[in-house]
Structure 1
C-alpha cells in the first residue's frame, strides 16, 4: 500500500513543501507533501538514534535534500496539552515553540497520533482496509479507533457542522478489565508490579511480552524473556502453546477494548484498528478471538454484532490525517 498521490492538475503548495511526521515510541516517520495529497520522500528513522526530536527532524531534512519547509505538522504518541511535550513511551521532551524556532518553521503543529489517524479514516480507500465481521457502517455516525504498538492508542471521530471532528483521547490508559478467570490471573500477576494496570500494559507490543511472562509464571514454567516478534513467530510458525495462548489472550483483550470504545462512542460508523502489532499477525487475526470478544457484550451484543471492525492496512495512514489537519489550518488563509 502507498500513501495517496495527488492528481497532476493540483499545483504545488504556494509556500513550498509541507513536512509531515508521525512519531511513535519506537520509530519516527517523515514525509514531504509537495501538493495536496502528493506525499513523497518517506523515511523511517529510529527514535533511539537521536537525542532530541529536533535532531531527528534535521536528520530527515538532510536526507530529503534540505527542502525549504515553512509549515510542518507532527503526530505524536503522547498527550498534547500546551507547549511542553514529554513523551510517555520515549525519552524525548521538547517545547513546541522552541522547536519551531530552532528548525526555522513559520508553523509547527503537534497533535496526538490518534487524532491524526482518526482524520485519515474518512479518506482511506477500500483496498486500504480489511473488514473483520459486522455489517455496514452507518454514514455520519461516530467512528472509533484503537491501535496497539509501543503503546495503546485510542481515538474517535464525530460529525459536526458538516465536518469530521477528531476526539483527543488517552483511552489506552483506562483500567484493564479482565473477561474471564485466565485474564484475571494475568491481572493479578500484573498487580505485583503496577498499582494501576492500564489496558496499555497488556494490549500493546510490550504488553504481548508481559502476557507471555505472566503465563509462564502462572503455570509454573521457567521464566523467559521473549520479544513480541519472537512470540508471534513461536505461535504462528512453530505452534508453541504458550505463545499461541499469548496471542489469543492479546486479541481477546483488544476485542474488549474495541467493544468498550464502540459502546462508549456509539460508534455505528465502525471501529478501525491501527498500530504496529495487528498487521504482523496476518491471516491469524481474522480467525483470532478478537471478533468473538467484540461481539460478546451481554445485553448490548446485538449492537456490537452489527458494528463493523476494520484493520487499517494502508502503509502510512497518519500522513493522510496530518495532511488534512494542516490543510484545515493553512488553506483557508492562503
Structure 2
C-alpha cells in the first residue's frame, strides 16, 4: 500500500476504484456513512492510461477528483506501478500531480479483497464445508478472474485489521494424478513454467479445455471462458463439464494449501469473476474433497470453513474500508 497525500484527515466524499486486468470499477464513497454510489464499470482495454479512465469517470459522473483510493491487480511496493495482466504503467506521484489530487492511495487488489471481508453480511457468503469461523484467526481470500489473486487478513491487538497482499497466484501448480500431469505437460509446452494462475483463472479455464481435449485425443475449436462456462452449465458439452470440474478440483487443492499456510480458522474466501458464475457446478465438484485432502492434516483442513463471496462490488467496499481505517488511524495519531 502506498499513500501520497498532503492531509488525509478529510470529510465529505472520496472516489474509490477496483482495477483488474479486464475491468475498472469506480464509485463515490461518503466518508461519513461509507455508502457507495455512482458506480460505473469501464473496460480497461478502451483506455490508453489510468488517467484517461479517471477523467472519463469524473466527466461522466460529474464528480470532483480530490481524494482517490484505488486497488489494482499487481504488486504495490514502490511509486512505480506496472500491471501484471494489462499494459497500464504509472507513477503514483505522477498521477497525483497530473490529476491535481489531494490524496492518492494505491493498494493491491487482493489487499482490498481482504479488507472487504470485514464488511460482508452473512447473506453475502455461501459456505462450502468446514466448521465455524474464529473471528480472531487469520483469514485468506483468493479469486480467479483475468489472473489469480491471493491475500490474507490478520487481526491486530488494537482491534484493527491488516491486509497481507501477496503473489500467491504465481506459485507452482502441483499435479496430483496422471490426468493432471498430462495437463501440466501440455501447459509447460506452451508457456514453460506452470503457475497456479495458468490453470485457475479465466484464461486458465480456456487452457484447461484445450489440455483436456489433447489428453482425450480430440480436436476442438478454442472457446472463451464464458462460452466454456455456459456449455458446462447447460450440460451440452461433456468436455466443458470436465473442464469446469477440473478447475474446481484444482481450486480446492489450492484453497486448502492457503488454509494450512496460515492456519486460517477465520475462513478461506473465494472471490473473483469466474467462480460465482459457475456456482451451479461447484457443489457437485471435488472442490471441498480436494480442499480437505491434506494427508496427516486432513482434520485441520476439515475444520476450516470456506465461503464464496456473492456480494456485488466487494472490492470497492474493501478499498473504502481501507480508506476508512487509514483515516481513523491518521486522526488518532494527531490527537
Q: Which residue of 2 aligns with 1:40?
A: 37
Q: Conserved in 2, the CA contact under 8 Å of 1:15 and 1:70?
A: no
Pick aligned residue for 1:146 from 133, 142, 145 = 142
- Summarize the alignment of residues 19-168 of structure 1 with structure 2, pairs less than 5 Å apart: 19-34=15-30, 35-65=32-62, 67-161=63-157, 162-168=159-165
1:333 is displaced (CA, Å) by 4.2
Cα RMSD of the aligned pairs, angstroms, is: 1.3
1:14 is displaced (CA, Å) by 5.3
Which digits, 9 at most, give the CA deviation of each residue in 1:232-280, with x for residues without a partner? 1111113311111100110011001100000001101110000000010
Residue 106 of structure 2: SS of its match in structure 1? strand
Distance 1:36 1:333 in 2: 18
Distance 1:184 1:320 in 2: 39
Q: Which residue of 2 aligns with 1:186?
A: 183
Number of residue pairs the alignment of both structures matches:
321
Which digits, 9 at most, give the CA deviation of each residue in 1:41-76, with x for residues without a partner? 0000000000001100110111111x2232111001
Pick aligned residue for 2:247 from 246, 250, 256 = 250
Q: Does 1:200 align with 2:197?
A: yes
Residue 179 of structure 1: SS of its match in structure 2? coil
Distance 1:274 1:126 in 2: 15
Pick aligned residue for 1:284 from 281, 284, 288 = 281
Q: Conserved in 2, the CA contact under 8 Å of 1:16 and 1:70?
A: no
Which digits, 9 at most, give the CA deviation of each residue in 1:159-201, with x for residues without a partner? 2222211111100000001111111110011110222211000
Distance 1:138 1:332 in 2: 25
Distance 1:125 1:326 in 2: 20
TM-score, length of structure 2 as denominator length: 0.93
- Does 83-92 or 154-163 show the bigger shift? 154-163
For structure 2, which runs of at least 5 residues remain unmatched after alignment?
1-8
Distance 1:99 1:257 in 2: 36
Q: Conserved in 2, the CA contact under 8 Å of 1:16 and 1:68?
A: no
1:290 is displaced (CA, Å) by 0.8
Residue 134 of structure 2: SS of its match in structure 1? coil
Distance 2:216 2:138 in 1: 42
Q: Conserved in 2, the CA contact under 8 Å of 1:16 and 1:69?
A: no
Distance 1:196 1:14 in 2: 47
Q: Conserved in 1, the CA contact under 8 Å of 2:148 and 2:169?
A: yes
- Does 85-94 or 159-168 show the bigger shift? 159-168
